[in-house]
Every structure is written in C-alpha cells, then in structure tokens.
C-alpha cells in the first residue's frame, strides 16, 4: 500500500479561513489598516511576477508592510496571518539552508501568534501542524521525533475542531495519524492510531469526495489496518476506496494491493502493471510490500518486477544514487504518460469547445475574437514527456486580451489545471479539474486573506470571470 506524498502546503492553501474573533485595538488601527493595504498591493504584484528575483523583492516589501501594520496595532490579526503565510513563501524561494531554516522558524512563531490572537483560525493550526511534521521528518533522535509527532497531531486536532466540515483538514489529520501510528513501537498504539486515521479520512471523503488524495490515503490506511486486524469488511472497504481513488484520477497501486490480498490475482497484476508504468511506485517498494507476499512465487509478478534493482539490496548510498541517476524510463512508462497526456488533450478540447459555445453570441456581435493557440507543456519528472496542448486567446474589440493556457495535468489533489490571465502580466484565475468522469471543472479565486475558494465552472461563472479580467 502507498499513501500520497503530496505537497501539503499547496493543499492547505485551499482552505477557507474562519472569521476570527474581533480583536480589541491596542494601537493606531487606521495606520495599521493603511500598512495592511500596502502589503496586499505588494502581494498581488508578487503573485503575478514571474521573475524570481523581482518576486522575492516584492514579497520582502509585503512582509515589511505587515510588520509595520503590527507595530501600529499589535492586535491587527489579518496582518499577522498574512505575515506568517508570506514568510513561508519566502522560505520556499530561499536557497541557503541556514536562511531558509531561520525563515521557517519565524513562520512558525508567526502562526503561533495567530492562534494566540484567534484560537479559531483553522488555517493557522493546520500550517502549524505541517511545519511540525516537516521538523519531525528531519529529526533523527527518536524521542524528539515522537514529541514533534504528538505536537503535530495536537495542532491538527485544533484545526479539525475549528473547521469540522473541511475535507482538507480531515485529510491532513488522517494522513498524519496514520504516519505517526506506523512509527510507534507499540502494536496496540499503532492499531489505535490507524483506526483514528481511517475515521478521519472517512470524514474527509464524506465532506468532499472529489480529491483522489483522500481516497488514496483512506485505502492505504485501511490496508495497514487489515494487516494488523484482518477482516473481510476492512478489505472490502479498502477495495472500494481504492476504486474511488482511480475513478477520481488517482493511482492504481492501492487497488492492485487490495485485489492481491483478496485473491483477485489477474486484476491485481494488471493494475500493478499500470502503476509501475506510471511510476507510482518503484519495483523495490513492491518487493518489500507485504500486500504481495502471497504472490512471491508467481512468475507473472516476477516478470513485472524483473531483476533490475535486485542487486541493489545491499548497495551503498553512493551506488544507489548512481543507479537512480542512470535509470531511464522504459517504453511502457513513456506509453502510460503519453496516454495520460492524450486524455488531458481531449479534455481540453471539450473544455474549449464549451467556452466557444458560451461565447458564440459575443463573437457573432464582433465584440470579441477567439484565437486558437498551441503551447508546449513540460511537467518534469522521469518518464513524463513534454507535450503540445491546445490553448485559447480571447481578444476584446476594445483592446485587452485574455489567454487560457493549460499548466499541468498532474496537480496535487486535482486532475488538471488551466490558467485564465489578462495579457501580458495581469491577474490569473485558475480553472481546476477535480474529477475526470464526469468532468468537474471549477474556477479558483483568492480571497482578501490569500486563501483559495472555488466555484463550479459554467457559462455564468466563466463570463463573469472573463468580464473581470477584461475590465
């Protein structure tokens, strides 16, 4: 079994920040509001800047404005919240390890200050959990690591209490519970954590069944639970969750594992072949995964895994690195990635066909013109070839234009992203696909506090967004 090692920062930024309790001003509120407005302005400019050096400079100016706002009024919670988030963005851009570590520490203190001022701020609690989890991953001392894990779980508990209907909060909490449980030396404690993880992830998929990450991690934790408390009911639920993960655009490996445990060998091997070709897991992971123990002597499994990498079992870290760097994707891996890219291209054609249909009356009145474009998209990663995708440009008779350009098919917690933006460097409005069949497209937009919200994409929401970008 395998869980999604997703960019949790990207996921948590989609959460809606709950309204914090009104704070009592302790300084010059008007001056704080003025500095806060300047910070927001710099932040918007930074979000649309593509040059890394200029983006960093704008974020520095934004951070300074929020600090000035807090000097004017230390109780101005919005400035404190955005200060914390932008310190994290700055740390993401930092290449010097020492400086990056210092920024992370400052980011952590800033989020702690947020929850002290606004204990109901779910976003801040979840970010504290993520930062503690990052610290735990880098901690080699066992006791200290265990303490960080417990603090991480405590932060996530606060987060789900503050936002009990938020699918993303339950996803983060459930994933952390399962990960922590597997690190515990006590079997009883491990079983308890896995049971809690499953319950949390059930709440995640109940609140929002679209993201494949929640179904993937639910299936993985159910499979871990099955190995410790075998039950046909648990295995059947794991299989259903894994099927939903595939249906929403996720990987096939957990489905293959569940089918192998259920004795559905032919189906299991077929899905394993897909998972290996799509680079979901390396062959060495399958060799060590207990889900496949019953099939170790099956020649079909041996043929899938091959002998490549078997000699690396006792290799030194340097030898493993050299072998990794020498690895080149095989024809099956390239073919699977090409298949995914082709599906994405067809989905884009359908999306752009809908857009043309919605705008047909406006085109007929000569108020806009639609141009067909083609762009090369490179998503990176071994075995993922670049590809040419369709795009659109909408030109208004009054002069401005909006480009609608695909950015990636492989997106955290989604199955594709397309950006609408005013040219040349205007605001960006992402269009995100959450499900493949049936397709579910949503428009994303940033709130004033920099968190993301989405609405279904339809003719009305698209036309409103286009009008906003052209205005």
The pLDDT tens digits for 338-350 are 788 888 989 999 9
Domain boundary among 247, 269, 293: 247
Same structural domain for residues 87 and 186? yes
Highest mean pLDDT among 25-34, 250-259, 366-375, 428-437: 250-259
Same structural domain for residues 29 and 43? yes
Q: Compute the average pLDDT of residues 192-215.
A: 94
Phi and psi at residue 121, to the nearest 5°: -80, 95
Same structural domain for residues 81 and 219? yes
Asked, for residue 2, whether it belongs to a domain, the answer is no
Q: Compute the average pLDDT of residues 206-222.
A: 92
Contact criterion met (CB below 8 Å) for 235 and 265:
no
Asked, for residue 317, whether it belongs to a domain, the answer is no
Please indicate whether residue 165 or residue 19 has the higher confidence score (pLDDT). Answer: 165
What pLDDT sits at residue 384? 59
pLDDT bucket at 171, cuts 50 / 70 / 90 = very high
- For 271-282, how does the pLDDT look when each residue is reduced to its tens digit (9 = 90+)? 998 888 777 888
Contact criterion met (CB below 8 Å) for 241 and 215:
yes
CATH number at residue 160: 1.25.40.10
What pLDDT sits at residue 226? 95
Same structural domain for residues 228 and 303? no
Same structural domain for residues 288 and 382? no
Asked, for residue 363, whether it belongs to a domain, the answer is yes
pTM exceeds 0.85 for this model? no
Same structural domain for residues 358 and 433? yes
* Weakest-pLDDT range from 135-139, 267-271, 305-309, 334-338: 305-309
Is 62 a residue whose pLDDT tops 80?
Answer: yes
Count of domains for the chain: 3
What pLDDT sits at residue 262? 95
Give the whole-angstrom CA distance, residue 63 versus residue 61: 5
Give the whole-angstrom CA distance, residue 271 versus residue 277: 10
Encoding tokens for residue 32? 């704080």
Is 453 a residue whose pLDDT tops 50?
Answer: yes
Q: Could you tell me the CA-to-CA distances from 121 to 105, 148, 155, 173, 446 in Å, in that order?
A: 20, 21, 11, 16, 17
What is the DSSP secondary structure assignment for residue 367, as one 8-state letter? S
Same structural domain for residues 47 and 92? yes
Cα 309 from chain centre: 30
Same structural domain for residues 286 and 392? no
Q: Compute the average pLDDT of residues 430-454.
A: 76
What is the DSSP secondary structure assignment for residue 24, as one 8-state letter? P
pLDDT bucket at 38, cuts 50 / 70 / 90 = very high
What pLDDT sits at residue 253? 94
Q: Which domain holds residue 274?
A: 251-308
Q: Could you tell me the CA-to-CA distances from 218 to 4, 63, 66, 278, 410 in Å, in that order?
A: 10, 38, 39, 21, 20
- For 120-164, how does the pLDDT look when each residue is reduced to its tens digit (9 = 90+)? 999 999 999 999 998 998 888 989 999 999 999 999 999 999 999
The residues, ordered by sequence, that sit 6+ positions from 396 with a Cβ below 8 Å of its Cβ are 367, 368, 470
Q: What is the mean pLDDT of the chain?
A: 84
């Amino acid at each position: 079994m395998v869980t999604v090692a997703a960019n949790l920062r990207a996921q948590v930024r989609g959460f809606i920040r709950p309204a914090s309790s009104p704070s009592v001003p302790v300084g010059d509120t008007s001056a704080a509001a003025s500095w806060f407005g300047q910070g927001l302005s710099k932040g918007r400019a930074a979000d649309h800047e593509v040059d890394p050096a200029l983006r960093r400079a704008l974020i520095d100016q934004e951070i300074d404005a929020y600090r000035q706002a807090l000097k004017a009024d230390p109780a101005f919670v919005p400035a404190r919240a955005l200060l914390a988030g932008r310190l994290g963005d700055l740390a993401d851009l930092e290449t010097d390890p020492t400086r990056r570590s210092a920024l992370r520490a400052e980011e952590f203190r800033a989020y702690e200050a947020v929850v002290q001022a606004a204990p109901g701020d779910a976003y801040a609690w979840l970010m504290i959990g993520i930062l503690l989890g990052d610290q735990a991953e880098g901690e080699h001392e066992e006791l200290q690591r265990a303490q960080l894990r417990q603090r991480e779980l405590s932060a996530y508990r606060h987060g789900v209490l503050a936002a009990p209907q938020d699918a993303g909060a339950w996803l983060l909490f459930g994933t952390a519970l399962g990960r922590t449980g597997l690190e515990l030396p006590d079997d009883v404690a491990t079983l308890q954590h896995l049971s809690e993880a499953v319950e949390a992830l059930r709440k995640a998929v109940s609140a929002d069944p679209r993201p494949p990450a929640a179904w993937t991690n639910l299936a993985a934790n159910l499979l871990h639970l099955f190995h410790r408390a075998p039950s046909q009911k648990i295995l059947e639920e794991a299989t259903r969750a894994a099927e939903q993960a595939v249906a929403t655009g996720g990987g096939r490996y957990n489905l293959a594992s569940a089918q192998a445990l259920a004795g559905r060998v032919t189906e299991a091997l077929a899905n394993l072949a897909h998972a290996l070709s799509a680079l979901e897991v390396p062959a060495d992971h399958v060799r060590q995964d207990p889900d496949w123990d019953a099939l170790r002597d099956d020649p079909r499994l041996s043929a899938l895994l091959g002998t490549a990498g078997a000699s690396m079992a006792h290799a030194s870290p340097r030898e493993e690195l050299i072998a990794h760097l020498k690895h080149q994707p095989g024809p099956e891996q390239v073919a699977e990635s090409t298949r995914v890219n082709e599906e994405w291209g067809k989905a884009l054609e359908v999306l752009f066909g809908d857009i043309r249909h919605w705008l047909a009356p406006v085109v007929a009145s000569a108020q806009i013109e639609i141009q067909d474009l083609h762009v090369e998209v490179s998503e990176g990663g071994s075995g993922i070839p670049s590809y040419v995708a369709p795009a659109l440009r909408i030109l208004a008779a009054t002069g401005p234009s909006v480009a609608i350009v695909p950015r990636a098919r492989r997106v955290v917690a989604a199955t594709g992203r397309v950006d609408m933006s005013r040219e040349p460097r205007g605001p960006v409005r992402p269009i995100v696909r959450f499900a493949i069949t049936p397709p579910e497209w949503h428009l994303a937009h940033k709130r004033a506090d920099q968190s993301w919200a989405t609405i279904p994409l339809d003719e009305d929401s698209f036309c409103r967004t286009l009008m906003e970008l052209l205005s």
